[in-house]
Amino acid sequence: MSDSLPRQALEFSGEEMREIGYRVIDMLVDYHQSRADRPVAEKLDHTALDAILREPLPRAGMPWREVFEQFQRQVVESSNRVDHPRFFAYIPLANNFVSVMADALAAGYNIFNAVWLQGPGAAQIERLTVDWLRQLFGLPSAAGGTFVSGGSAANLTALAVAREIRLQGDTAGSVAYCSDQIHFAVSRGMRLLGFAPEQLRKLPSDAGFRLSVARLRLAVAEDRAAGLRPFCVIASAGTTNTGAVDPLDELADFCAGEKLWLHVDGAYGAPAVLTEQGARALKGIERVDSLALDAHKWLFQPIECGVVLLRDRRWLPRTFKETSEVLKDVQSEGKELNFMYQGIQLTRQFRALKLWMSFKVFGLDAISEAIVAGFENAALAERLLRAEGCWEIVTSAQMAILTFRYRPANRDTALASRVTHDLVGRLLDDGFAFASGTQLRGQSVMRMCCNNPRTTPKDLERTIQLMTRLAAQLEAELNGAVFS
Ligand SMILES: *Cc1c(COP(=O)(O)O)cnc(C)c1O
């Protein structure tokens, strides 16, 4: 510790700070460069991990090096790598180094981005970055939004606005609609906002796992006839299960006719609007009242980078503004933006910085190409799976996601279903690559999400060969053909 300052200042000398900083950079760069050669999933040593849980609260400090080493050994080395090029489970989270450094800068300078007067430069960057996103989605110039922690917070924030603006906060008898493929973040958000489960109607999705406009029309008419108050339709722009995109344009027509709020959960898929095929799939997204997206998914930001966009930016302060004595003199309205009234956080991280820096450093063209790589990889994965001959594609590649199941010809389907179901565990044991399963209409399927732009064709080939081999092994074992 520094000689010149007392211990209670919690300071290091300049030399020590540099040493710590360089160590961190070395760790991160080594990780980044060696990631593809390591397994996706590590074999966990539970006894070593249990030791962490039993650690007493330290009374005296210890050398930082030891703490960093412990972190490396027990946390980094025991975590599955969600940014690994052969991680295809859930939603892979591939970040970029510029944004990682931007997060360090935001933390290091501790920029307080809640009130305009405290940091107009930061507020300006957040406003500009939100406006870039607004333009990308084709929303009108009156639209605006705010950065939040992620998709869950973005959905919750948008639905809080819908409740305030459409229902003036009175939820009695109100009803919102979505498909049965909606993300649980939406159901949870509705519950937290005081809606009872039956106030969110989860309509059976159509054959393509999309919200059916015909079913929606019927449900709304029935509810109106019963004296209820339909107020909101919640659509998915890329479900996590299959990548299905609800028919946004048709839904926007329907909502306009019925005077319903249209909210879109684009946490996973919305950034695809930067590409030609994504923009085609997402046609109508420019007509939403509110949109949730996650820049930490398909815009390659480090974790915690959600954004909520609203068709009219004045709706946010109408929902979230309160008065405060302490902050009275910084509450000036006008063209200044006080982000503390745009959502539920007062003190908030400067999350816009990472997206702003990466947009500037890479440029939109490179970022769109990175998204296109996801589409191409998913299409290639589908071709490779078909070529193996033992896989049945359940839902074709869309928004870089595909689902499939083990179905060799002339084989017992119950057994093949067991194989599909058990394969995830085998992949984890193997560690070379990881894909997860899901349930579609009660059936187990395997699923790959290919949105990591660092995945190579070779990664896909080797992953699919491995799945075929593990599936055949499993089948043989289940068949009792292996007596060992
Ligand atoms: C990931 C996801 C969410 C939740 O977002 P978080 O950032 O994990 O909170 C919501 N909806 C969809 C469609 C998602 O893919």
Q: What element of type H or E holds 201?
A: strand 200-203
Q: How far apart are CA 226 and CA 222, in angstroms?
A: 6
Cα–ligand 1 centroid distance for 24 (angstroms):
29
Length of the chain in terms of residues written: 484
CB 265 less than 6 A from any atom of ligand 1: yes
Mutate to test the pocket of ligand 1, among 93, 190, 241, 265 (most ligand atoms within 8 A of CB): 265
Question: What does the pLDDT read at residue 137?
Answer: 98
DSSP symbols for 49-80? HHHHHTPPPPSS---HHHHHHHIIIIIGGGS-
Tens-digit pLDDT profile for residues 265-286? 999 999 999 999 999 999 999 9
pLDDT in tens, the chain (484 residues): 445 566 788 999 999 999 999 999 999 999 999 999 999 987 777 776 777 778 899 999 999 999 999 999 888 888 889 999 999 999 999 999 999 999 999 999 998 877 777 768 888 999 999 999 999 999 999 999 999 999 999 999 999 999 999 999 899 999 999 999 999 999 999 999 999 999 999 999 999 999 999 999 999 999 999 999 999 999 999 999 999 999 999 999 999 999 999 999 999 999 999 999 999 999 999 999 999 999 999 999 999 999 999 999 999 999 998 877 776 666 555 455 788 889 999 889 999 999 999 999 999 999 999 999 999 999 999 999 999 999 999 999 999 999 999 999 888 889 999 999 999 999 999 999 999 999 999 999 999 999 999 999 999 999 999 999 999 999 999 988 544 4
Q: Where are the alpha helices (DSSP H) in 275-412?
A: 276-281, 295-298, 315-320, 352-388
Q: How far apart are the first and last CA of the chain?
A: 60
- Residue 105: Cβ within 10 Å count: 13
Q: Strand 174-179 vs strand 229-236: parallel, antiparallel, or unpaired?
A: parallel
Q: How far apart are CA 26 and CA 20, in angstroms?
A: 10
Q: How far apart are CA 259 and CA 219, in angstroms?
A: 15
Q: How far apart are CA 246 and CA 238, in angstroms?
A: 8
Answer for the pair 248, 282: CB distance below 8 angstroms, yes or no.
Answer: yes
Residue nearest to atom 8 of ligand 1 (CA): 151
Answer for the pair 395, 209: CB distance below 8 angstroms, yes or no.
Answer: yes
β-partners of residue 402 are 448
Cα–ligand 1 centroid distance for 263 (angstroms):
14
CB 294 less than 6 A from any atom of ligand 1: yes
Question: What does the pLDDT read at residue 449?
Answer: 98
Q: How far apart are CA 92 and CA 435, in angstroms?
A: 10
Mutate to test the pocket of ligand 1, among 148, 152, 451 (most ligand atoms within 8 A of CB): 152
Kindly report the backbone phi and psi dihedral angles of residue 201, in degrees, each rounded to the nearest multiple of 5, phi listed first: -85, 115
3-state secondary structure of 470: helix
Q: What element of type H or E holds 102?
A: helix 97-108
Question: What does the pLDDT read at residue 482?
Answer: 46
Mutate to test the pocket of ligand 1, among 205, 211, 268, 301 (most ligand atoms within 8 A of CB): 268
CB 185 less than 6 A from any atom of ligand 1: yes
Dihedral over Cα of 95, 97, 99, 104: its sign: positive
Cα angle vertex 456, ends 455, 462, to 5°? 100
**Closest to 400 (Cα-Cα) out of 246, 284, 265, 244:** 244
**Ligand 1, closest atom to CA 306?**
7
Cα–ligand 1 centroid distance for 158 (angstroms):
14
CB 271 less than 6 A from any atom of ligand 1: no
DSSP symbols for 347-376? S---THHHHHHHHHHHHHHHHHHHHHHHHH
**Closest to 452 (Cα-Cα) out of 100, 93, 96, 150:** 93
Hey, what's the torsion of the CAs at 322, 325, 329, 333, to 10 degrees?
A: 10
Kindly report the backbone phi and psi dihedral angles of residue 87, in degrees, each rounded to the nearest multiple of 5, phi listed first: -95, 115
Q: How far apart are CA 385 and CA 179, in angstroms?
A: 29
CA distances from residue 359 to 28, 91, 112, 152, 348 in whole angstroms, order as listed = 21, 22, 22, 24, 21
Q: Strand 306-310 vs strand 290-294: parallel, antiparallel, or unpaired?
A: antiparallel
Answer for the pair 63, 326: CB distance below 8 angstroms, yes or no.
Answer: no
CB 179 less than 6 A from any atom of ligand 1: no
CB 299 less than 6 A from any atom of ligand 1: no
